[in-house]
Amino acid sequence: MRTVIGLMSGTSMDGIDAALVRTDGETRVEPVAFLTIPYEDGFRAELRSCLGGTGPVEAVERALTDAHADAVRRLLETAGVAAPAVDLIGFHGHTIHHAPEERRTWQIGDGARLAAATGIAVVNDFRSADVAAGGQGAPLVPLFHRALADRLERPLAVLNIGGVANVTWIGRDGTGPGGAVIACDTGPGNALVDDWVLRQTGGRYDAGGALAARGRVAEGALTTLMAHPYFDRPAPKSLDRDAFDPAPVAGLPAEDGAATLTAFTAASVARIVPHLPQAPVRWLVCGGGRHNATLMAMLAERLGVPVDAVEAEGWDGDALEAQAFAYLAVRSRKGLALSLPATTGVPRPMTGGRFHPAP
């Protein structure tokens, strides 16, 4: 067992998730502490200006790395743990460009700078090796989901609703670390609704789904959105944050636009079911989207089986991605797979990550 920090800056650009865990990178995961440090609006705008790989990338990367070093300090303070007691940091960084079909994916975050600032060894650049080998480079959390879900009824789907939504399907055959797993990004998560709410009301997101709850789904716009060819492709497949054009909802009242974009997320999740070997008997939901009651109700209606927040199994749905990058960092050091043909489309199980020793 190692003591490891996982750091994630997700596509919703809400802030840094920092988790301290004890894990062997295989079957054992013991959460110790977790916190989220929200970005200030000014930094969020700078980060946004780098999406697509343009803008002041170098300066933003330095600032982002320093913010992560600060997150490490605060996490250790909260946990009452000293830096020398930590074996490793898994540092995802922030995705500013993701185009696996061009064999390109770019997560900013300077691993050597973080190791120097914290005095702790760092693994970063988790996605490059996968993409270089012809994989999607995402999602990478599925092996972590499978480790957590070892004893649960299957087929099970673990759904993360962040800026983008991604699913891990865990099949009936083969329990434990060898169980069948299929994964992909299902479509939009919260990003389109967040952007809509920002433009319409200046708010950061649709708290509780209250705005969407007051609106009506524009079925014509939803049909147009669902006509995107991404939804016909089987897994594995992945998305960049801004892959979908919300033009079909332009001009709708704020409530109806929110309702329609929320329904778009739910419909695109349901659209993955025909691509799976068997329909899941249950969906466990993590990521910020599980706080959106309107979205959760739409999912339950469309999926027709129980849809629960992961807290039903005692997991922390805000911490899971950060915990996953702690787990994956240990796997990287052990030379174990981070991705499989059925999770990212790599030709063979692939390890990955770049190691930066402690100074």
Ligand X SMILES: Nc1ncnc2c1ncn2[C@@H]1O[C@H](COP(=O)(O)OP(=O)(O)OP(=O)(O)O)[C@@H](O)[C@H]1O
Q: In the bound complex, what is the minimum distance in angstroms from residue 82's beta carbon to ligand X?
A: 28
Q: How far apart are CA 344 and CA 184, in angstroms?
A: 7
Q: In the bound complex, what is the minimum distance in angstroms from residue 308's beta carbon to ligand X?
A: 16
Q: How far apart are CA 88 and CA 318, in angstroms?
A: 21
Q: Does 256 bind ligand X (CB under 6 A)?
A: no
Among 7, 47, 138, 319, which residue sits at the site for ligand AH0 (rule: CB under 6 A)? 138
Among 31, 90, 162, 280, which residue sits at the site for ligand AH0 (rule: CB under 6 A)? 162
Stretch that binds ligand AH0, among 115-123, 137-145, 148-156, 219-227 (CB under 6 A): 137-145
Helix axis angle, 57-79 to 41-49, nearest 10°: 140
Amino acid at 231: F
Q: Does 292 bind ligand X (CB under 6 A)?
A: yes
Q: Which tokens hold the place of 157? A: 């789907």
Amino acid at 66: D
Q: Does 190 bind ligand X (CB under 6 A)?
A: yes
Sign of the dihedral defined by the CA atoms of residues 290, 78, 12, 140, in that order: negative
User: Looking only at residues 73 through 132 of this chain, which bind ligand AH0 when binding is defined by CB under 6 A?
Assistant: 95, 98, 105
**Tokens 């990287």 sit at which residue?**
332
Of 17 and 256, the one with the shorter C-beta distance to ligand AH0 is 17
Which H or E run contains 97? strand 94-99
The pattern of x and - marking residues 192 through 231 that bind ligand X according to CB under 6 A reads --x----------xxxxx----------------------
Interstrand relation of 104-108 and 88-91 (parallel, antiparallel or unpaired): unpaired
Q: Does 166 bind ligand AH0 (CB under 6 A)?
A: yes
Q: How far apart are CA 41 and CA 20, in angstroms?
A: 26
The answer to whether the CB of 149 falls within 8 A of the CB of 158 is yes
Q: Does 160 bind ligand X (CB under 6 A)?
A: yes
The annotation status of 308 as a binding-site residue, yes or no, is no
Residue 43 phi, psi (nearest 5): -70, -35
The one of ligand AH0, ligand X, none whose footprint includes residue 146, by CB under 5 to 8 A per kind, is: none
User: Looking only at residues 223 through 282 of this chain, which bind ligand AH0 when binding is defined by CB under 6 A?
Assistant: 238
Stretch that binds ligand AH0, among 62-70, 133-141, 147-155, 272-280 (CB under 6 A): 133-141
The answer to whether the CB of 314 falls within 8 A of the CB of 289 is no
Of 121 and 324, the one with the shorter C-beta distance to ligand X is 324
The one of ligand AH0, ligand X, none whose footprint includes residue 292, by CB under 5 to 8 A per kind, is: ligand X
Q: Does 265 bind ligand X (CB under 6 A)?
A: no
The one of ligand AH0, ligand X, none whose footprint includes residue 14, by CB under 5 to 8 A per kind, is: ligand X
The annotation status of 14 as a binding-site residue, yes or no, is yes
**Tokens 């996605």 sit at which residue?**
127
Q: How far apart are CA 237 and CA 6, in angstroms?
A: 24
93: CB partners within 8 A, 6+ apart: 9, 64, 107, 108, 109, 124, 125
Of 154 and 241, the one with the shorter C-beta distance to ligand AH0 is 241
- Encode 306-317: b = buried (16+ Cβ within 10 Å), e = exposed: ebebbeeeebeb
The annotation status of 339 as a binding-site residue, yes or no, is no
The annotation status of 179 as a binding-site residue, yes or no, is no
Among the listed residues 324, 312, 284, 269, the one whose alpha carbon sits nearest the alpha carbon of residue 156: 284
Task: Note the residues at the interface with ligand X (CB under 6 A).
Answer: 10-12, 14, 160, 162-164, 189-190, 194, 205-209, 287-289, 291-292, 321
Residues marked as binding for ATP? 10-17
